[in-house]
């Protein structure tokens, strides 16, 4: 049996829940449910939806492809180096996204450190293109994969590795047949959280890739624009984004944070 907390603490707790829940409820309350279908099928909305889904899925896949090897590497390192690398990789999680976007411009912009060379050699240009949206999304999503997967890798009993080695397994067999399958829940969770983060990305995208409808205007950007011109469309798109986030959180609740 759990004992009751002081009244003041319970009041504050209720206040905290309300503070988060009320804005979301207000959103739902104002949605013009009857015209949902027509609003959703508008060109601007459809363009943004399609672009958002494509870029966020690609960004999540790139985050997995790059983040898992990094997590594997970090999980078998110790000392100062691992802290330093982890700090750098995790920085986008707490960095203001606008600053991230600006940093991306200076790196991958037409005159950027890498971007100028890249454009000369391959003709690839990132700013104000769909590639730029993917780049910005990946920049903010990658840390979630690294953190989630590295945590799971470090929790594996190292004796499993010994067991596999005594059974003759070499490094790659060990990695692909034992280690990665054992952290499968974390791979799934990391991928989905990265995807959800990419889907909601605003600051880095608008700074680095701009806000061109049908080209770089993702759902969050479209919501922002629509708030000025078409409140109902903004509401519908907001609800769409909230639903996606909720579904991801609910389906991953056991994996992202312990329930009990």
Partner 1 sequence: MTKSPSPLLDARVVLQRGDLSLDVEIVVERGETVAIMGPNGAGKTTLLYALLGWLPLQSGWVLLDNEIFEAPGQDQVTSTQDRNLGMVFQDGLLFPHLNVVENISFGAEKEADNHDLMERLDVLPLSEKYPAELSAGQTQRVALARTLAARPKMVFLDEPLASIDLTARIDARNSIRSALEQSLAGALLVTHDPTDAFALAQKVLVLEEGRVTQFGTPDQIRSQPKSRWVADLMGWNVFHGVGHGSSVTLADGTQLATSESELSGETMVMISPSSVALFLERPGGSPRNSWLCRIQRVEHLDSLARISLSGPLDLYADITSDAADELDLTPGRDLWVSIKATEVRANTILGRRH
Smallest gap from residue 149 Cβ to partner 1 (A): 16
Nearer Cβ to partner 1, position 30 or 177?
A: 177
Interaction of residue 182 with partner 1, rule CB under 8 A: yes
Nearer Cβ to partner 1, position 161 or 230?
A: 161
Nearer Cβ to partner 1, position 32 or 185?
A: 185
Rounded to whole angstroms, the Cα distance separating 176 from 39 reads 46
Interaction of residue 184 with partner 1, rule CB under 8 A: yes
Residue 12 CB burial class (10 angstroms; 0-12, 13-18, ≥19):
exposed
Smallest gap from residue 160 Cβ to partner 1 (A): 6
Smallest gap from residue 157 Cβ to partner 1 (A): 7
Nearer Cβ to partner 1, position 13 or 163?
A: 163
Nearer Cβ to partner 1, position 2 or 166?
A: 166
Selected binder of partner 1 within 178, 188, 212, 227 (CB under 8 A): 178
Interaction of residue 177 with partner 1, rule CB under 8 A: yes
Site for partner 1 in 148-167 (CB under 8 A): 157, 159-160, 162-167
Nearer Cβ to partner 1, position 10 or 184?
A: 184
- DSSP calls for the chain: -PPPPPHHHHHHHHHHHHHHHHHHHHHHHH--GGGHHHHHTSHHHHHHHHHHHHHHHHHHHHHHHHHHHHHHHHHT--SHHHHHHHHHHHHHHHS-HHHHHHHHHHHHSTTSTTHHHHHHHH----TTSHHHHHHHHHHHHHHHHHHHHHHHHHTS-THHHHHHHHTT--HHHIIIIIIHHHTHHHHHHHHHHHHHHHHT--HHHHHHT---TTTT--HHHHHHHHHHH-HHHHHHHHHHHHHHHHHHHHHHHHHHS---
Selected binder of partner 1 within 31, 85, 93, 169 (CB under 8 A): 169
Residue 150 CB burial class (10 angstroms; 0-12, 13-18, ≥19):
buried
Nearer Cβ to partner 1, position 122 or 166?
A: 166
Rounded to whole angstroms, the Cα distance separating 187 from 176 reads 13
Smallest gap from residue 176 Cβ to partner 1 (A): 12
Smallest gap from residue 177 Cβ to partner 1 (A): 7
Stretch that binds partner 1, among 64-72, 180-188, 222-230, 237-245 (CB under 8 A): 180-188
Smallest gap from residue 158 Cβ to partner 1 (A): 9
How many residues belong to the site for partner 1 (CB under 8 A)?
Answer: 17
Q: Which two tokens stand for residue 9?
A: 């603490």
Residues contributing to the site for partner 1 (CB under 8 A): 157, 159-160, 162-170, 177-178, 181-182, 184
């Amino acid at each position: 049996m759990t004992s009751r907390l002081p009244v003041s603490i319970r009041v504050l707790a209720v206040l905290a829940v309300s503070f988060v829940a009320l804005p979301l409820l207000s959103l739902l309350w104002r949605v013009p449910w009857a015209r949902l279908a027509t609003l959703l099928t508008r060109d601007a909305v459809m363009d943004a939806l399609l672009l958002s889904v494509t870029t966020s899925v690609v960004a999540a896949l790139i985050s997995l492809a790059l983040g898992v090897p990094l997590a594997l590497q970090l999980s078998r390192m110790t000392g100062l180096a691992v802290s330093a690398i982890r700090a750098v990789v995790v920085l986008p999680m707490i960095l203001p996204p606008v600053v991230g976007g600006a940093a991306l411009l200076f790196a991958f912009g037409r005159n950027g450190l890498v971007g100028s060379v890249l454009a000369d050699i391959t003709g690839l240009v990132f700013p104000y293109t769909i590639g730029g949206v993917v780049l910005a999304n990946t920049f903010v999503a990658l840390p979630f994969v690294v953190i989630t997967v590295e945590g799971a890798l470090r929790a594996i009993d190292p004796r499993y590795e010994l067991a596999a080695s005594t059974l003759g397994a070499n490094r790659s067999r060990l990695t692909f047949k034992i280690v990665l399958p054992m952290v499968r829940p974390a791979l799934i969770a990391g991928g989905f959280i990265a995807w959800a983060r990419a889907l909601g990305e605003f600051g880095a995208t608008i700074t680095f890739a701009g806000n061109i409808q049908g080209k770089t205007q993702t759902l969050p950007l479209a919501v922002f624009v629509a708030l000025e011109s078409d409140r109902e469309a903004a509401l519908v798109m907001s609800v769409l984004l909230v639903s996606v986030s909720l579904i991801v959180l609910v389906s991953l609740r056991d994996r992202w944070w312990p329930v009990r």
